[in-house]
Amino acid sequence: MADLARELGVSTTTISRALSDHFSIGPAMKQKVLKLAKKYNYQPNHMASALRKGKSKLLGVIVPYIEGRFFAKVVHGIETAATKAGYNVIICQSNEDVANERRNLESLLSAQVAGVMVSLSRTTHEFHHFDKLRDRGVPLVFFDRVIEGNNVNAVLLDDREGGYLATRHLLTQGCQRIAHLAGPQHLNIYRNRLQGYFDALREAGQPADERLVRYTDMTQAQSAEATRALLALESPPDAVFAAGDYSALGAMQEARRQGLCVPTDMAIAGFSNEAFTVVAEPTITTVDQHCEEMGQATVRLLLELIGVGSNAFIPRQLSLRPELLVRDSSLREVDETQPLATAAAQP
């Protein structure tokens, strides 16, 4: 900047203002500055700018882990949208540990990020560490895993709708007793999927049977075990809606181990559209979460907050609609006499 100022015989003040399109600089001067800046390939020093303004061109994102399809895709969406807006993205992993989450937050603050996006760790039960962000005026947007009953900005999937769609689909396939493999209930996503399950049953006039709902940690192993217990019931289920794909896989494997045919004896639907669901045999019906769209929506909301200044802004919640992907694990010969049969199979 000093070089440009010298060459044009003006001060660095003028250069700075011309580059940031300040009103007090005349159009002629702006043109000259811009041209010279281009000629010398002037690159603003983001650090200096950040130091002065207290705001950088960096966005922070904290996810439980980056490997695994869901978060990788969301981060992909985040990075794409952020880059388009001239921001860089710092990623942190909490590894499902609230202590790491706290450290990550400190780390992002000391990097002077302009805003933060968070998907909560599984072990986060209290949220005071996020207060510091508000104190410092750094906007915060949650995605997918959020603080509930709190005034926060969030982008999430309509998990209830997803659970509802999957369960209703199983109903339309003629299933009479649909079990649910639920996830940890302190996480909103699993609670909502369960709710969707209940809603679909209620709508169909089927009573909810508590014995058909099993709570697991969503691993393949625990889900297989839960399925074993379900099949040992007096009147075992003829379908399972699992709140996750690995869970669905565990259920499917256990069912087949017991000699049942999927989907004829036992229809199965999962959640998340993991890569293996199209590879498994049979392919697994699941709910797609539109991950990249979630990432992009999160960035959009965050940038808006950065724009207006986060204070005195009404917290906003965005809800994205999931999509049911019907595949072989749930697709029975549809009984045409069934009034409910409205599901469309995908090729």
Partner DNA sequence: TACCTTTACGCAATGCTTTGCGAAGCAAAA
Partner DNA sequence: TTTTGCTTCGCAAAGCATTGCGTAAAGGTA
Q: Which residues contact 249 (CB under 8 A, 6 or more apart)?
A: 220, 223, 270, 276, 280, 284
CB 59 within 8 A of CB 279: no
Contact call for residues 128 and 99 (beta carbons, < 8 A): no
The only residue of 75, 116, 152, 178 in contact with a second copy, by rule CB under 8 A: 75
Distance of alpha carbon 12 from alpha carbon 18, whole angstroms: 10
Instruction: Pick one of a second copy, DNA, none as the site partner of residue 80 (Cβ within 5 to 8 A by kind).
Output: a second copy
Q: Which residue number, 80 or 206, has a Cβ lying nearer to a second copy?
A: 80
Name which of 69 and 300 has its Cβ closer to a second copy. 69
The residue among 44 and 315 lying less far from DNA, judged by its C-beta, is 44
Question: What residues pair up with 117 in beta bridges, in sequence order?
Answer: 61, 141
The binder of a second copy chosen from 5, 36, 91, 334 (CB under 8 A) = 91
Q: How far is CA 285 from the centre of its chain?
A: 20
Indicate whether 1 belongs to the interface with DNA (CB under 7 A): yes
Residue 48 or 221: which CB sits closer to DNA? 48
Q: How far is the CB of 56 from a second copy (least distance, A)?
A: 7
| DSSP-derived 3-state class of residue 229 | helix
Q: What DSSP state is assigned to residue 212?
A: G
Pick one of a second copy, DNA, none as the site partner of residue 17 (Cβ within 5 to 8 A by kind).
DNA
Pairing of strands 323-325, 286-288: antiparallel
By CB under 7 A, is residue 24 in contact with DNA? yes
Q: Which of 2, 24, 38, 67 binds a second copy (CB under 8 A)?
A: 67
Tokens of 24: 């007090």
> Which amino acid is it at 148?
E
H helix runs in 204-346, sequence order: 220-231, 245-257, 291-308
When asked if residue 109 is in the footprint of DNA (CB under 7 A), the reply is no
Is residue 76 a contact residue for a second copy (CB under 8 A)?
yes
Binding of residue 307 to DNA (CB under 7 A): no
58 binds a second copy (CB under 8 A): yes
Q: What residues between 18 and 47 interact with a second copy by CB under 8 A? A: 43-47
**Rounded to whole angstroms, what are the CA distances from 313 to 137, 220, 223, 251, 300?**
12, 43, 43, 45, 15
CB of 22 or CB of 134, closer to DNA: 22
The terminus-to-terminus CA distance of the chain in angstroms comes to 60
Distance CA 167, CA 178 (A): 8
Interface contacts to a second copy, rule CB under 8 A = 43-48, 50-51, 56-58, 65-69, 72-73, 75-76, 79-80, 83, 88-93, 103-104, 106-112, 249, 274-276, 279-281
Q: Which residues bind DNA (CB under 7 A)?
A: 1-2, 9-14, 16-17, 19-20, 23-29, 42, 44-45, 48-49, 51-54
